[in-house]
Amino acid sequence: MHTPTASVVIPAHNEEAVIQRCLSALLDGLEPGAAEIIVACNGCRDRTAELARAMGPEIIVLETEVASKSAALNLGDDRASAFPRVYLDADVVLRGSALAEIVRALADADGPLAAGAAMHVELGDRPWTVQAYYRVWTALPYVTEDLIGSGVYALSQAGRARFDRFPAIIADDLFVHRLFAPGERRTIKSATFTVYPPATLGALLHVHGRRRAGNLEYEQTAGAVADQRSGESTSHALLALARDPRWWPSLAVYASIVVAGKARGRWKARFGDLKVWEREVTSRTEQPQEVER
């Protein structure tokens, strides 16, 4: 029996449609016992826990009645025993071979404190508006320059020591991202993970609004201010794209979604219930539900 060289925490709320896809990929290419895999089922009213347990005895399944992502992250953290520590959303795909690459980088004494993988967006049969948005978004510095977040991030033991508990906010990935300077975080280019974006324009607007509300909540809760350097680098990247007329249709779609999403986010931050996590479900097969952070 191997001693785990990493712990993986997967918060999951009603993820029966995707949990086995997530775990199958994670186990692919991973030596038995090399990683401690913890599925923190929170407020589930479906077969998420049952299907996770069916993947094998190496999967640790925790259950809580509290439907909260932050509570699930903390629950999984309390059970986890190994470092590096990897936090993975149930609806993304990270293969065991990619996990091993990330773990090796973080285990290196001269390595980063926080790491992520290179993102692949599976657009498939998504409408052209959704494809246009992601074509621009994946060309921006947030994605291209040492991304940690958007479904997966990993921390060394020293990196995890930067904070105590996950705060009860929407934007856990932004919270973690802001803890590390550019030289302390790294995208492991040899490792990739796959995200499945919204299947409709309406769902994409919903996601963007939720993300914006989460950013505003983080800034208000943490007493933080917007990252001016990040905003400037994004503006410069957009201007560079705009010099090529071939990008104009995609940029028009992107700008429209950003404007509409910011308006929705401001409304939600001011009048909505930020304790409710509004899940995007068009990339799943289940019915829409809401879950607390």
pLDDT of 154? 97
Helix (H) or strand (E) holding 191: strand 185-195
Structure tokens, 117: 């993988």
Q: What percent of the chain has pLDDT over 70?
A: 89
Reported confidence tier of residue 271, pLDDT bands at 50, 70, 90: low
pLDDT at 136: 97
Which of these ranges, 25-39, 59-73, 231-245, 264-278, has the smallest mean pLDDT? 264-278
C-alpha angle with apex 74: 122 to 214, nearest 5 degrees? 55
Measured between alpha carbons, how far is 251 from 18 in angstroms, rounded to an integer?
32
Q: Is the pLDDT of residue 288 over 50?
A: no
CATH number, domain 6-283:
3.90.550.10
Q: Which residue has the higher pLDDT, 278 or 123?
A: 123
Residue 155: pLDDT band (50, 70, 90) is: very high
Task: Tokens 């990935």: give the residue.
Answer: 173
- Residues in contact with 204: Cβ distance below 8 Å, sequence separation at least 6, in sequence order: 129, 130, 133, 197, 198, 257
Spatial distance between the Cα atoms of 114 and 182, rounded to a whole number of angstroms: 10
Q: What is the pLDDT of residues 184-240, one digit of tens each?
A: 999 999 999 999 999 999 999 988 888 888 888 888 776 655 555 567 889 999 999
For the chain, what are the domain ranges? Answer: 6-283
Rg (the chain; Cα; Å):
18
Region at 29 (left for phi over 0; alpha for psi -120 to 50; beta for the rest):
left
pLDDT averaged over every residue in the chain? 89
pLDDT at residue 293 is higher than 50 = no
Give me the pLDDT at residue 33, please: 85
Q: Residue 186 — φ and ψ, nearest 5°?
A: -150, 140
Beta strands in 19-126 (DSSP E): 35-42, 59-64, 85-88, 93-94, 114-121
- The reported pTM is 0.90
Check whether 277 has a pLDDT greater than 70: no
Identify the pLDDT of residue 264: 84
- Mean pLDDT check: name the lowest of 54-63, 73-82, 144-153, 216-225: 216-225
Contact predicate 140/237, CB 8 Å: yes
Enumerate the H helices of 83-200 as residue ranges: 96-107, 128-137, 141-144, 157-160, 172-177
Model confidence at 130: pLDDT above 70: yes
Residue pair 6/83 in contact (Cβ under 8 Å)? The answer is: yes
Segment 163-176 mean pLDDT: 91
Q: What is the DSSP letter of 245?
A: G
pLDDT for the residue numbered 218: 83
| Residue 88 or residue 149, greater confidence | 88
pLDDT at residue 163 greater than cutoff 80: yes
Nearest to 281 by CA among 21, 47, 12, 17: 17
What whole-number percentage of the chain has pLDDT above 90?
66
Q: What is the pLDDT of residue 105?
A: 95
**pLDDT-derived band of residue 290, with 50, 70 and 90 as boundaries?**
very low
